[in-house]
Structure 1
């Protein structure tokens, strides 16, 4: 059961109590409460004053009070910190509620029930939908073994840029949510005080200049926590097995759930990760895992006192074998971790790698065989269990802490194959499509694997071929025990997958590689099943899939959510899932498991349902989809991603990690509750019209130049850098790319911009338009359809965190009339002169008109959405937002403060002295940069143009070879400008970005 609002954890209560009683925030608390009172009153008066905007009016008032000296920047800083701490505490409480936080014993009891059910025979009760009931009769041990040793679910750790807090703040968030420290112990008073001090006294901006190595380190901590949770799960599974199958339980090596990572291996749209970086990252996870195996063996030997017997000798030999392999891995990790290596050094390490002295370990078979012998040498059930858990880990993880996912873009594969087949243009060009396929098929007919070494790998400049070569070397010398997933982004043609298959065969890795197309654009999601159908018609692909025993696809909630809108993307993904199930059933493709990796993230904009973890999993992979695969007897493995700091949070303490993994297994191992009569699926005429209307709204929005104006008003300049991946896409080739198009902003920054503007358009938008087509039909459907209720819960949640008054207030900053009205109010003052000049400069940008038109479209849609939600309430289907009023008020207050700060920055820029054009930059250009909030680059130019001290008065003969009597009496010193203009702009901008973190915490994720 989730905690109620009155059941906050002890540590959270202590945090809020300290915040409430901290004298430092007395004035800030009073200002916050005043703003709330006025905001609520003004919103109530909106019926009588429909043209008013309370957000803008309060921001204007704060701005004028700041200018008059009635409030200070220090007070606003304290207010931002106060509200940010409250948002942080609220987020911690929501994390616990969201996953249904439970203690270790409670989670293990739930797992025990799951594994007991897994051992029971089923009887079909409804052939049509594949539903079944448990009989209480046990399945055979071999069947139970098959079920328990199958990977039913997968976690994929990714490093999308959502490191929106410092590592320490994420740890504090997890510990406050779980009421325990990272070791799983109840927080002590001293630890609580330390967390309170960290959260209250330190601003919440993320670690600056976070790089790939820092991301990888945090990913490794998350993986370590998941592995600890898995050990608990293995223990429960073995306890159940020992009770149900006492004669055979020691034969089990449970897998149940896989752990994978692409941190360091994702090259989609990136040019900053070298092959050596990828290899270094891969070797690091091997070193970590081998060290763990040695530690586990040592602990078993010490705890069980096995030194003097045959068992002790066997375990010592295993430990010695792993230690030899570790020494090799550490040496090679050190080499490839160097920032630069000479050709001679690469030759030397290559010779060392290629020479096999028996120390290298690339297969786990000998370790598992030795552990089997060790298990047979003891009658101690406790010791057996420890050894079996270790055996299970080796069988599951192989020689690394996680499975490996690499990712490229389809363009990188097309560029690699282009010369081989003489391809011009795109592979699906109508006039050349058949010829391209014939040429590629001919290559596949004749392909034979070739040999490569590190020299040929280093010399290769084509990204795709270099990746396949690297995979070949890693399989040969690092780990061949677990498959590697090869993900291909922006994949909408079978040609791309066949190209990958060709290179997999060419470099001899096809038996270890699972090629997985990523479908996330509208075209790819619509054509995805056709792509797979065409591939199954290809003898090479069909043989490959049957040989691998699995067919893998990836569906993306990121770009799909941007192009189609989040919910319509989810529905398109669901349709693809269902089409794939029907396709495989129709083709009678047997003996093949379907693996669907759904890359959704932690925010609504990336597909994470905000109500509960159970809703999140059912939203991403619907019960209807799962039942369709079950009905057609097609094994299905679902994988989901946990992205960056926001995702790793769910594994921040032992209790959180075990709870999260337990919820995943409850979903994966539980029977999907599906209503075959759900009208969303049976009344397809209405459902399809609704989907097409929603999809059309978002596609039109993305192509609307006014939407680009809205996003580009401040672009990503209000955000901190939250990861090593660039906000804008990197390209191997630049031809034909519209740099100003919203698609060139990555999905997470795109979502984050919407958060920072105050309207979650890609989640809440479009629904009013779709609902208004037939309001009565919608209300009826909502009442009868679980699927519709689930996605509407997400929509209403997003709407509750949105306020169109907020982006309209930001747009007003570019409205000349707004600044003219302000100037008229203060008349003959220096501030009025600044506002008059500003009115002309914002008019030059032309942004207001475009932003205003876009927001007008959103407003019309929102009116219809409100009517729809009101109709649900009138019908007794009330939508209750899962957050309180204070959370929403605090979110709006953060926007009010930042609007005030931005106004002051704009006005300060009007006081920058004129200067002669330098390096093609003039004053108006620089001010326009400031109006776009490109503050760091603008300040850099200003400080170079207006130095604090300039001029030289000592021209000595010693220095210059001859005397000089000249003295520059007009030394230029711009200290006053630095003090009164540049430094205040910098301070205000820093506070603007601190507001962005508070907003992210209020919503629950960055982007």
Structure 2
């Protein structure tokens, strides 16, 4: 069927045209072109001058031009803004192409074809209605909204990015000339940076907007599903309540590594989403009632009763939500509201069955197809969401569960300690043998100090008093032993929530991914777990594309996760677990470092969950539900307008409901000896890198100090206890900031690193494998793409800033000047840090690996296999220029620090301490100390007799006023640092996501 394409590029064409025509960017554009020309020339010269570094040389040149007055910071700022706007526009175009944005009508047409295909075994054999109904009422795919810290742009700029991507506003209206002009000005004139001080409340607000957009898209999906069903099964279509896709969120409920969310915060957040959803149901009932006035009296009465019931429940929810938002710390107030909650007068709504039953009564009272369809869609929404905007995921760390159970069984050390393992499991099994549910109230919940037990108690109260219609997912981070899952099961039974709680271990570290199938196998041997899974009808796991990518490298993590998926499919077949759905939540993200394949949404989904995996579950007749996360602002972008949201949902459903096509002769799966050797080499490279102290030196050179705060989660992991934890180890930096540091240093080692080493083991075998394997080509496309956005000259240029020889050479060049004295002093200060040697050694490892990768890609090209990506020129050049400008700015910051006046040591703070902070780019903290140490006085102070009872002839006119230092040192450092961080956003947009 021919499809009319929605016009693309109109708004973006206007943006690119306007930014090029802006007079204020004329100088910046000329400087950019000059830098490009010089960079190309310098690169060509590296064959005869192999030790030259074009990135460092250009940065040095800019620095000297600044010093000589031939270049201004204002012009560099304009250049950064110009490049940021261009990166922003490029990103919008890439997102549009990536998802394949189409009109609402075109997406509905694709969905119609998809659903019709599900109704037929082959061209001529139509399925029974019940078989078709089972397909559409099963949630085959799940979206999980998370608040990972990827809010790298302001909310306003994210909205603009979505609108440029889809050529429509947030209400779905096509952008006219006036709207495009307003968007252009917003992007061109506004500073490209995140909203400052983003907190959990702001994250939750943006998450709710994304979920509302998904809900609207799903209404369109349900409408198409019903239209197809009415056409194919005209006598039965009203019996369908399509589900196909679920929406979940852990925003406000994720306590892994967080100590800033109380039980009252979690409950308040859960109650807020109930209020929103009940209000949504009322709005939809109002639409139905208004559209169908004049119906039978009995129908009007039924609809009015449904609305009245929901309205009554909404009043209760609003009152209790307000309490837990304001007064939850007051014991007396908690007692009062608890008594009110328990003394339910029938107004509370906890189960949705009565609403669905009432809607079914209304359906039987009308013959109008459009009214029936509206009621069925509402019924489907209630069945899908329950009494919330989305399903609820909570998350704890395994250590929190171990700490909770420790005293109950007398456990010392870790549960898998070899000498105590059997005793620990025996003691825990004894608890499970005898566990009986206990009763709790809000008082016992408030008094409980153990995080894990408090969470189970909170879940119990939510099921009793908020929503018992939809299950809750209980995710356990860093889980690598069955003991942890059995502990969770014990507490689920103890607090009476095991009927509605899906316990899901998160396998994210290398050890956990290797042992994951063994953990599940041991659990299936346990009678309590087996009975629990069969009763729930589902077995849930979570795999950590994010943290696994940090421990293993992204592609080796993906392959380890795929191996786990395949082992799990075979394991369940071996154990003959029947009637149990497997739910795999792959916590991948928006960047390559978090498993987002950059070529297309189709590649992204196939990369995360390979066709081979899906076909293996299907072959073993095991129902599989795949879930993926959309993380923070970068993830919510895909739901920023109605067209964009429906396109994204359509792509997800095409992936989930389409039959996976698998090449049985894919060499990656048939030549397992070579594939395994390749994987293990890759894995070893990244594990050795993570344990290498030189890698810690590289990451720690500036750490996260070049980044804005992009979310409420801390960059460093938080722990209940710190015993035995190496706080300086790279694993203690969260995955997103870890990835973001690599982005800002200019080399995506977590994605491109290690492949040269693996390829070099047998180049010919690799070229052959690449040609015979779709799986290998897909991950190598990502590697090649990441390599194209990387340049080892860039981190080597950053490392040079810590090389005393670099500063000595600069001082020698300018001889007897104040700048030379500052550079000499700086050479001594960086020489004492020992950072450079470690960074340089690590970069040598990456350089050697990169040389082998180049050879591998050249061999593919010679064999006609290499893909050429469209950013080889301007986008890559712009990215390098952003780094060049920032390298120049950092040099100026370092040299300004040399002009800070000496001061008497105080509170163990010395001038050298402050300068070292500045060299590490810990600028805000250093400036705070400097401003306190060197205050500005506003004129003289006169001490009068009227104030002090006796006269004084003294005034403080000899007191030192540090206004000059503030104006010439501190303020310039602050401005340069702000520009450095603005560059970080341009870099993220060039790459496609934050971290």
Normalising by the smaller structure, the TM-score range is over 0.9
Q: Tell me the distance in 2 between the aligned counterparts of 1:435 and 1:669.
A: 46
- Alpha-carbon offset, residue 958 of structure 1: 3.3
Match of 2:326 in 1: 338
Classify the secondary structure of the residue corresponding to 1:151.
coil
Secondary structure (helix, strand or coil) at the match of 1:554 reads strand
* Cα distance in 2, alignment partners of residues 786 and 811 from structure 1: 38
CA distance in 1, matches of 2:265, 2:304: 34
Aligned twin of 1:817:
805
Distance in 2, Cα, partners of 1:289 & 1:882: 44
CA-CA distance at 1:191 after TM superposition:
1.1
Instruction: Report SS of the residue matched to 2:204.
Output: helix
Name 2:19's counterpart in structure 1. 19
Deviations 1:536-585 (A, max 9, x none): 00000000000000000000011100000000000000000000000000
Match of 1:493? 481
User: What TM-score do you get using the length of structure 1 for normalisation?
Assistant: 0.98
> Does 1:572 find its partner at 2:560?
yes
Measured in 2, the distance between the counterparts of 1:420 and 1:306 equals 65
Partner of 1:137: helix, strand, or coil? Answer: coil
- The corresponding residue for 2:956 is 968
Question: Is the CA contact 1:421–1:436 (under 8 Å) kept in the aligned structure 2?
Answer: yes
Query: Gaps spanning 5+ residues in structure 2: where?
Result: none
> So what's the TM-score if we normalise by structure 2?
0.99
Aligned to 2:378: 390
Deviation at 1:882, TM superposition (A): 4.0
Match of 2:934 among 936, 940, 946: 946
* Structure 2 match to 1:481: 469
Contact 1:611 1:882 in 2 (8 A): no
In the alignment of these two chains, the number of paired residues is: 992
> What secondary structure does 1:401 align onto?
coil
The 8 Å contact of residues 951 and 968 in structure 1, kept in 2 or not, is answered as: no
Report deviation, 1:340: 5.3
Give yes or no for the alignment of 1:118 onto 2:106. no
**Aligned 1:381-780 pairs, distance under 5 A:** 381-780=369-768
Post-superposition offset of 1:727: 0.4
Distance 1:713 1:851 in 2: 8
Corresponding residue SS for 2:124: strand
Note if contact 2:249-2:393 (Cα within 8 Å) is conserved in structure 1.
yes
Q: What residue number does 1:145 align with?
A: 133
Residues of 1 paired with 2:942 and 2:250: CA distance? 59
Q: Contact 1:85–1:199 (CA<8 Å) still a contact in 2?
A: yes
Q: Deviations over 1:744-783 (max 9, x none)?
A: 1000000000000000000000000000000000000000
CA distance in 1, matches of 2:956, 2:598: 66
CA–CA separation in structure 2 for the residues paired with 1:975 and 1:954 = 20
The alignment partner of 2:125 has SS state of: strand
Quote the RMSD (CA, aligned, Å).
1.3
Question: What's the counterpart of residue 88 of structure 2?
Answer: 88
Identify which of 286, 310, 330 aligns with 2:274: 286
Matched-pair contact (CA < 8 Å) for 2:137–2:244: yes
Alpha-carbon distance between aligned partners in 2 of 1:970 and 1:815, rounded to the nearest angstrom: 42
Q: Distance in 2 between matches of 1:144 and 1:350?
A: 46
Do the aligned partners of 2:492 and 2:498 also contact (CA within 8 Å) in 1?
Answer: yes
Matched, 1:76 2:64: no
| Structure 1 position 884, deviation (Å) | 4.6
Q: Which residue of 2 aligns with 1:236?
A: 224
The question of whether the paired residues in 2 share the 8 Å contact of 1:63 and 1:901 is answered with yes
2:813 is equivalent to residue 828 of structure 1: no
Distance in 2 (CA, whole Å) between partners of 1:18 and 1:81 is: 14
1:124-203 paired onto structure 2 within 5 Å: 134-203=122-191
Q: Residues 828-847 of structure 1: matches in 2 within 5 Å? A: 828-847=816-835
CA distance in structure 2 between the aligned counterparts of 1:341 and 1:472, rounded to whole angstroms: 20
Equivalence for 1:46: 46
Q: Distance in 2 between matches of 1:66 and 1:245?
A: 75
Q: Give the SS at the match of 2:46.
A: helix
On the 8 A contact 1:797/1:882 being kept in 2, the answer is: no
Q: Deviations over 1:623-670 (max 9, x none)?
A: 000000000000000000000000000000111100000000000000
Counterpart CA distance in 2 for 1:362 and 1:882 is 54
For residues 144 and 808 of structure 1, the distance between their equivalents in structure 2, rounded to whole angstroms, comes to 59
TM-fit CA distance, 1:959: 2.8
- The answer as to whether partners of 2:533 and 2:539 remain within 8 angstroms in 1 is yes
- Contact residue 468 and residue 503 of structure 1 kept, 8 A: yes
- In the alignment, structure 1 segments of 5+ residues that lack a partner are 122-133
For 1:307 and 1:945, the matched residues in 2 are separated by 78
Query: What residue is the counterpart of 1:899 in the other structure?
Result: 887
Question: Counterpart of 1:873?
Answer: 861
Structure 1 runs, 4 residues or longer, greater than 6 Å off: none
Whole-Å separation in 1 of the counterparts to 2:307 and 2:855: 68
Aligned residues of 1:869 and 1:879 also touching (Cα < 8 A): no
- Residue 968 of structure 1 deviates from its aligned partner by 3.3
In the alignment, the residues of structure 1 paired with residue 258 and residue 951 of structure 2 have an alpha-carbon distance, to the nearest angstrom, of 57
Q: Is the 8 A contact 1:600 1:608 kept in 2?
A: yes
- Matching residue of 1:915: 903
Structure 2 partner of 1:100: 100
Task: Give the deviation of 1:135 after TM superposition.
Answer: 4.1
| 1:336-379 residue CA offsets vs partner (Å, 9 max, x unmatched) | 11175311111111111111101000000000000001011000
Q: Is the 8 A contact 2:327 2:334 kept in 1?
A: no
Within 1, Cα distance between the matches of 2:861 and 2:564?
Answer: 33
Kept in 1: contact 2:328–2:334 (CA 8 A): no
Aligned with 2:906: secondary structure? coil
| Equivalent residue, structure 1, for 2:67 | 67
How far apart, in 2, do the equivalents of 1:881 and 1:707 lie? 29
CA distance in 1, matches of 2:934, 2:124: 82
Question: In the alignment, is the contact (CA less than 8 A) between 2:940 and 2:957 conserved in 1?
Answer: no
8 Å CA contact 2:788–2:872 kept in 1: the answer is no
Matched, 1:225 2:213: yes
